[in-house]
Structures are given as C-alpha cells and as structure tokens.
Amino acid sequence: RHYFALPTNPGEQFYMFCTLAAWLINKTGHHFDQPQESDDPNATISNILLELRSFGNSVDFPPSKLKAGYGEQVCYVLDCLAEEVLKHISFSWKRPAYPAEEQDDETVVEDDAELTLNKIEDEIAVSSRIGNC
C-alpha cells in the first residue's frame, strides 16, 4: 500500500497499479488482459472499475483519480480487489498459536543472587553488632 500512497513517479505508479489490478482480477477467476504501457489509460481504468463494480463494490469517485497512479482511491481499488481474491480462495483467518512459555534460567539465577546478597547483608549486620559489643 505504501508504494501507492504518495507520489514518487506517477507514470510508473500508474502502470504498476494497472498491472497489479489486472493480476488481482485474474486471481479472482475473472479474465482480464494484462495492460500494456501503450494502452489507452482511460480504457484501462474503465475496465478495472467495471470489474470492481461487478464484485459489488461502490465507486464514488471520478476515474481520473486513478490516472495519477497513487492516492486514496488507488489504495481503495487495490484493497477491494485483494479482498475479492481472499474471498475467491476461501481464505480464513485463524487465531495465532502462541508457544508455551518456558521459565528462563536467568530469572532463577537473579532470585538466587538476591537471596545471596540479602544473606551477606544479614551477616554483615550481625558481625557489626557482635563487633560493637
């Protein structure tokens, strides 16, 4: 998404958008010819939007917004097409399986070190009391 969010090279971004959109449309099981750089951009955009509408997605922006090859509308179209691909392949999200946590040996060592330090402090306190007597 980030590549299509901001303008870097509009001509290249437009071609990559059309190529990616065509690939996604083909992944949904619909036939869509891979666009060529020499193709009419208006016809290519029109065909992409026609496919998008065939999936039931709304298009409430002018087609010219896609001509730049970047921006919110470009991201919207790619997002909708990616969602359609996931539906087509019956993709479903599964809950992550986290590994069981194991107790670190370090924490045991730290606890032992604290006990040893407390024991030393107690011994010093006892010996200082004995020495003061």
- pLDDT of res. 71: 94
The amino acid at residue 86 is: L
Measure the CA–CA gap between 6 and 70, rounded to whole angstroms.
6
Measure the CA–CA gap between 63 and 69, rounded to whole angstroms.
11
- pLDDT of res. 128: 66
Distance of CA 118 to the CA centre of its chain: 49
pLDDT by 10s per residue, the chain, length 133: 589 989 898 889 999 999 999 999 999 999 999 998 889 999 999 999 999 999 999 999 999 999 999 999 999 999 999 999 999 999 988 888 888 887 665 555 555 656 676 777 777 777 666 665 5
- pLDDT of res. 106: 56
Q: Please answer whether residues 18 and 26 qualify as being in contact, where contact means their C-beta atoms are separated by less than 8 angstroms.
A: no
Measure the CA–CA gap between 50 and 7, rounded to whole angstroms.
25
The residue count for the chain: 133
Q: What is the rounded radius of gyration, in angstroms, for the C-alpha atoms of the chain?
A: 32
- pLDDT of res. 111: 57
Q: Please answer whether residues 55 and 65 qualify as being in contact, where contact means their C-beta atoms are separated by less than 8 angstroms.
A: no
- pLDDT of res. 131: 60
Token pair 């901001």 in the structure block, residue? 6
Domain residue ranges in the chain: 2-88, 101-133
